[in-house]
């Protein structure tokens, strides 16, 4: 049995090529496949309100035709070798992931390089893609969970903040985006010095790096990358509540929350532990015990902290029958009040700490799991010794710290609340 | 799959153990041969509800305690119900795996079904259903299924009809539990970092004293051959038009199973067999090229699952805005008729086999996946099916694919559903409730 951590400074190879591309490799001979995961520091944050959805559209269009391959040829190649590849844009990063059998890893890399470096944006394919995106947006407009979350973000962040809107854009903006805008976005923001590539699988690190260098080494960018930073988010000053009625629905979806913190904020671990106890552990922590288990008001009710490069939100989400809506919201607020008014118990704290440290092995069990953690370590600059330090970080957080931290971020008198479903405005 | 230790305890409990000693984790599963397939009218959804009650306490492990113990030991656990089976699993650091045996042996016999807990769970289950009802495709799928099966219990979804969820009683649930949660109707699957013989001895200690139960009532219902095409048109508020056609198809033990698997792969790619979920359909597949590449639909998929009794092969699509469903339907039928009348190319056949081979390797990364695969195959056929899966796929010929396509894609074998969105600008018909 192998009991050593798979991610340490000794077991992971990290190099930066001349062009600024960073590569991390973790060898794992236990499965005859290779997982590839990449990230670019770019995304919807570079869109304006008028070009909302540009990063998303551009990224989705990369696969629709390249210098070496038509869309159809690319699809044929991926399918023929049982490979997978996908790429998509979020607000502050563009992420891609691929998978192949070991024997086809060269092919996969070639596809990835072609897509990143040489998209051609053929008109016919771009227009088909536009129709697909527009249909997705139409579907989103009638998806209660999506609408509630989107409206929550509007209430939670000021209009000038990148988190005010989701990165997929609006029907109005996507209809107007031009191929020239797509080309320009690609030319400006897709560059090796903002890109990280994580490789996990049955490869030798040295050889994998050589292969990457062969296909991506000639990728060049001019000038300096655009500044990549998310402004602070001001705290809420009142209750901002919005109801969006949607026809033909049975259930109302609710999102309640606050702007919270960045991943690198010193409060991150205390808030994460508080969040775990509040609305995640087991079947949704205290929220689940109260709203689901005791009162039977909702199938799902949970909380999450979306800490990223910017101060992402801390949210509670629930799906409830409209007749139970006010009772469910009251119960959620009551739990927030309780979390703010007294320290979590020693039992709760022990459980949360044990879970986080104990379950690390589970998260590191697969190539995909290792790649996901490595990718975060790189993005948030946590260091390759992060997992070695992790148990100590978690054990050092006290109930008192959790209390002061949740008091700082969660309020009962100021919050953003969005509701979408079969309800009156 | 090689090196699976198979055993059976005296009380009839079957055990499948697969040591994988690459990471310090292990997974433990109990699979019960019960699902919505075993339900009778008026009691639909009862198997899924019983699954929820298994987290609500026993005399020794009170409500919520299972979750606390799992958390304290750095694990995760959950359960799910399908039409053919109900499965419970834990994933734990391997030095903590005994906890799973303690939890599962306890709730195989001792679950309380406290009447108050049954009542609060009733609304949770209804909420689960109502969440699904917010999605137009759920309504369409439910209607198509109900029409495709006149007499077989595959007629209803595992969540059950809402009217049944309102009337099922605590005693109904408990009786269902006592009938089906017996060692002779269960299979244990464990995979991960353990010694097989040691694990078997532990299982014998934990489960061996549970008495054998009565034989479970067999499901004898056979769906009669369909005599004519069936259709349903659903008009509700929604963002797009959806198409769904269901064709009766072979079960997992049918000699044609592999040919139908290949057929599905050629139509929309392989990915559906991956235990961890359905990956996006292959964009080089026939249906994608005929429907999405041509701009008629924004997505199209063909799914076929391994089931105990003959189930369905389903073709679904979302129309591009402005494209009428007639056109979508015609384009799909043309493709299905083509594959039923002309042999596929050997290139297409090779592609599906390579895709399946890759999917198999991917699915073996992680002990959870391995446990899930073994259990699922054992429920619908035999875990041994895994060993010969690729071999059997490679035996499928181009003639086989054409032959099964011809058998399945007949007008009289299909149920067609259309979802047509009602005009959103029309006055809103609201269903109760106030903010």
Q: Mind giving me the DSSP string for B260-289?
A: HHHHHHHHH-S-TT-TT-PPPPPTTSHHII
What is the C-alpha to C-alpha distance for residues B123 and A14, in angstroms, rounded to an integer? 52
Q: What is the mean pLDDT of residues B122-150?
A: 96
Output the pLDDT for position A1: 41
Chain A residues in contact with B76 (beta carbon < 8 A) = 359, 362
Q: Say what percent of chain B tops pLDDT 90.
A: 89
Say yes or no to pLDDT of B275 above 80.
Answer: no
Interface of B with A in 296-355 (CB under 8 A): 298-299, 318, 320-321, 351, 354-355
Question: In Å, how far is B349's CA from the nearest CA of chain A?
Answer: 10
Output the pLDDT for position A218: 95
Element (H, E) at B125: helix B115-133
3-state secondary structure of A144: helix
- The segments of chain A whose pLDDT lies below 50 read 1-2
Question: In Å, how far is B162's CA from the nearest CA of chain A?
Answer: 12
What is the C-alpha to C-alpha distance for residues A177 and A134, in angstroms, rounded to an integer? 12
Structure token digits, residue A37: 């995961």
Output the pLDDT for position B280: 55
> Taking each helix axis from N to C terminus, what angle separates A346-358 and B65-72, rounded to the nearest 10 degrees?
50
Which among A80, A86, A134 has the least Cβ separation from residue B354?
A80
Quick check: B237 and A142 CB within 8 A?
A: yes
Q: What is the mean pLDDT of chain B?
A: 93
Quick check: B236 and A248 CB within 8 A?
A: yes
Quick check: A360 and B91 CB within 8 A?
A: no
Architecture of the CATH domain A12-216: 2-Layer Sandwich (3.30)
B269/A contact by beta carbon, under 8 A: yes
What is the C-alpha to C-alpha distance for residues B124 and B340, in angstroms, rounded to an integer? 45
Residue that the structure tokens 């992680």 belong to = B366
> Taking each helix axis from N to C terminus, what angle separates B346-363 and B398-408, rounded to the nearest 10 degrees?
90
Architecture of the CATH domain B230-422: 2-Layer Sandwich (3.30)
The predicted-structure confidence for B210-228, as pLDDT tens digits, reads as follows: 999 999 999 999 999 999 9
Are B238 and B419 within 8 A, CB to CB? yes
Are A23 and A32 within 8 A, CB to CB? no
Among candidates B330, B332, B338, B337, which has minimal Cα distance to B317?
B332
Among candidates B128, B127, B300, B238, which has minimal Cα distance to A143?
B238
Are B248 and B226 within 8 A, CB to CB? yes
Structure token digits, residue A181: 């805008």
The predicted-structure confidence for B276-300, as pLDDT tens digits, reads as follows: 333 456 899 999 999 999 999 999 9
Show Cβ contacts of residue B73 under 8 Å, excluding neighbours closer than 6 positions: A354, A358, B92, B93, B96, B99
Output the pLDDT for position A18: 96
Are B357 and A82 within 8 A, CB to CB? yes
Domain spans, chain A? 12-216, 239-421
Structure token digits, residue B261: 């698997």
Are B404 and B263 within 8 A, CB to CB? yes
Chain B residue at shortest CA distance from A243 = B435
Interface A-B, measured as beta-carbon pairs within 8 A, has a size of 235
Q: What is the mean pLDDT of residues B355-362?
A: 90
Residues of chain B with CATH 3.30.830.10: 5-207, 230-422
B199/A contact by beta carbon, under 8 A: no
Q: In angstroms, what CA-CA distances link A375 with A304, A384, B305?
A: 20, 11, 34
Quick check: A362 and B285 CB within 8 A?
A: no
ipTM of the complex: 0.92
3-state secondary structure of A409: helix
Q: In angstroms, what CA-CA distances link B211 with A298, B178, B207, B214, B375?
A: 37, 12, 9, 10, 23
Architecture of the CATH domain A239-421: 2-Layer Sandwich (3.30)
Quickly state the pLDDT bin for B123 (edges 50, 70, 90). Answer: very high
Interface of B with A in 355-384 (CB under 8 A): 355-359, 361-362, 364-368
Chain A residues in contact with B368 (beta carbon < 8 A) = 365
Question: In Å, how far is B70's CA from the nearest CA of chain A?
Answer: 8
Per DSSP, chain A holds a count of helices (H) and strands (E) of: 16, 11
What is the C-alpha to C-alpha distance for residues B66 and A362, in angstroms, rounded to an integer? 18
Output the pLDDT for position B417: 98
Output the pLDDT for position B387: 85
CB atoms within 10 A of CB B230: 17
More confident residue, A117 or B1: A117
Are B355 and B270 within 8 A, CB to CB? yes
Domains A12-216 and A239-421 in one fold: yes
Q: What is the mean pLDDT of residues B318-332?
A: 96
Quick check: B121 and A296 CB within 8 A?
A: yes
Which among A281, A299, A319 has the least Cβ separation from residue B71?
A281
Q: Could you tell me the pTM of the whole model?
A: 0.94
Say yes or no to pLDDT of B2 above 80.
Answer: no
Report the top-level CATH class of B5-207: alpha beta
Best residue in A105, A136, A247 to probe B by mutation, most B CBs within 10 Å?
A: A247
């Amino acid at each position: 049995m192998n009991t050593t951590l798979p991610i340490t400074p000794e077991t992971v190879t990290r190099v930066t090529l001349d062009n600024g591309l960073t590569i991390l490799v973790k060898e794992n001979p236990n499965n005859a496949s290779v997982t590839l995961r990449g990230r670019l520091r770019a995304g919807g944050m570079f869109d304006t309100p008028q070009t909302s959805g540009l990063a998303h559209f551009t990224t989705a269009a990369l696969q629709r035709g390249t210098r070496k391959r038509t869309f159809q040829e690319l699809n044929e190649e991926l399918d023929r070798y049982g490979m997978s590849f996908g790429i998509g844009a979020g607000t502050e990063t563009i992420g891609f992931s691929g998978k192949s059998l070991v024997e086809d890893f060269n092919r996969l890399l070639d596809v990835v390089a072609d897509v990143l470096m040489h998209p051609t944006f053929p008109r016919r394919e771009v227009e088909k893609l536009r129709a697909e995106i527009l249909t997705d947006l139409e579907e989103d407009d009638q998806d209660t969970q999506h609408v509630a979350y989107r409206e929550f973000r509007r209430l939670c962040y000021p209009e000038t903040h990148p988190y005010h809107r989701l990165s997929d854009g609006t029907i109005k903006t996507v209809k107007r985006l031009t191929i020239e805008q797509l080309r320009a976005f690609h030319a400006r923001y897709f560059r090796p010095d903002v890109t990280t590539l994580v490789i996990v699988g049955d490869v030798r690190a040295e050889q994998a790096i050589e292969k990457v260098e062969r296909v991506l080494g000639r990728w060049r960018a001019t000038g300096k990358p655009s500044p990549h930073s998310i402004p602070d988010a001001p705290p809420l000053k009142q209750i901002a509540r919005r109801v969006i009625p949607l026809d033909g629905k049975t259930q109302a979806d609710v999102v309640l929350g606050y702007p919270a913190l960045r991943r690198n904020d010193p409060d991150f671990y205390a808030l994460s532990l508080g969040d775990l106890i509040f609305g995640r552990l087991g079947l949704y922590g205290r929220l689940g015990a109260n709203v689901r288990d005791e009162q039977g008001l909702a199938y799902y009710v949970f909380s999450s902290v979306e800490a990223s490069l910017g101060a992402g939100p801390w949210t509670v989400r629930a799906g409830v029958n409209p007749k139970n809506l006010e009772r469910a919201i009251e119960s959620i607020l009551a739990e927030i009040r309780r979390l703010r008014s007294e320290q979590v118990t020693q039992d709760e704290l022990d459980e949360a700490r044990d879970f986080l440290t104990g379950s690390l092995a589970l998260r590191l069990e697969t190539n995909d799991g290792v790649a996901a953690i490595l990718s975060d370590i790189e993005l948030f600059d946590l260091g390759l010794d992060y997992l070695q330090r992790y148990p100590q970080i978690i054990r050092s957080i006290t109930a008192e710290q959790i209390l002061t931290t949740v008091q700082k971020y969660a309020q009962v008198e100021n919050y953003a609340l969005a509701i979408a479903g079969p309800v009156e405005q | 799959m090689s090196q699976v230790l198979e055993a059976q305890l005296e009380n009839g409990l079957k055990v499948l153990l697969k040591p994988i000693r690459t990471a310090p984790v292990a997974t433990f599963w109990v699979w019960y041969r019960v699902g919505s397939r075993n339900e009778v009218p008026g009691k639909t959804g009862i198997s899924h509800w019983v699954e929820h009650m298994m987290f609500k306490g026993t005399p020794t492990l009170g409500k919520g305690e299972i979750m606390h113990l799992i958390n304290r030991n750095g694990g995760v656990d959950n359960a799910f119900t399908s039409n053919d089976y109900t499965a419970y699993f834990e994933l734990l650091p391997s030095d903590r795996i005994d906890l799973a045996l303690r939890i599962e042996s306890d709730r195989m016999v001792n679950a309380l079904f406290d009447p108050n807990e049954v009542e609060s769970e009733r609304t949770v289950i209804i909420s689960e259903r109502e969440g699904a009802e917010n999605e137009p495709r759920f309504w369409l799928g439910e209607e198509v299924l109900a029409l495709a099966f006149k007499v077989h219990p595959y007629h209803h979804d595992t969540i059950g009809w809402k009217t049944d969820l309102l009337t099922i009683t605590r005693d109904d649930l408990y009786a269902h539990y006592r009938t089906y949660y017996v060692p002779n109707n269960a299979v244990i699957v464990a995979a991960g970092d353990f010694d097989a013989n040691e694990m078997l001895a532990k299982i014998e200690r934990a489960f061996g004293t549970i008495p054998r139960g009565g034989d479970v009532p067999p499901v004898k219902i056979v769906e009669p051959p369909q005599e004519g095409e069936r259709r349903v048109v659903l008009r509700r508020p929604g963002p797009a038009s959806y198409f769904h056609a269901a064709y009766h198809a072979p079960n997992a033990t049918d000699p044609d199973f592999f040919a139908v698997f290949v057929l599905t792969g050629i139509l929309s790619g392989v990915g559906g067999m991956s235990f961890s979920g359905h990956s996006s359909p292959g964009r080089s597949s026939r249906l994608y090229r005929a429907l999405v590449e041509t701009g008629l639909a924004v997505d199209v998929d063909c799914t076929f699952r391994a089931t105990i009794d003959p189930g369905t092969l389903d073709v679904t699509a979302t129309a591009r805005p402005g494209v009428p469903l007639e056109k979508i339907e015609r384009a799909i039928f043309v493709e299905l008729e083509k594959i039923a009348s002309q042999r596929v190319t050997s290139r297409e056949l090779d592609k599906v086999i390579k895709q399946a081979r890759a999917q198999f390797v991917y699915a073996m990364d992680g002990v959870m996946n391995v446990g899930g695969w073994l259990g699922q195959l054992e429920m619908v056929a035999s875990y041994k099916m895994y060993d010969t899966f690729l071999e059997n796929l490679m035996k499928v010929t181009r003639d086989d694919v054409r032959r099964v396509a011809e058998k399945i894609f007949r007008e009289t074998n299909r149920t067609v559903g259309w979802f047509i969105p009602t005009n959103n600008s029309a006055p809103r018909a609201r269903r109760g409730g106030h903010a």
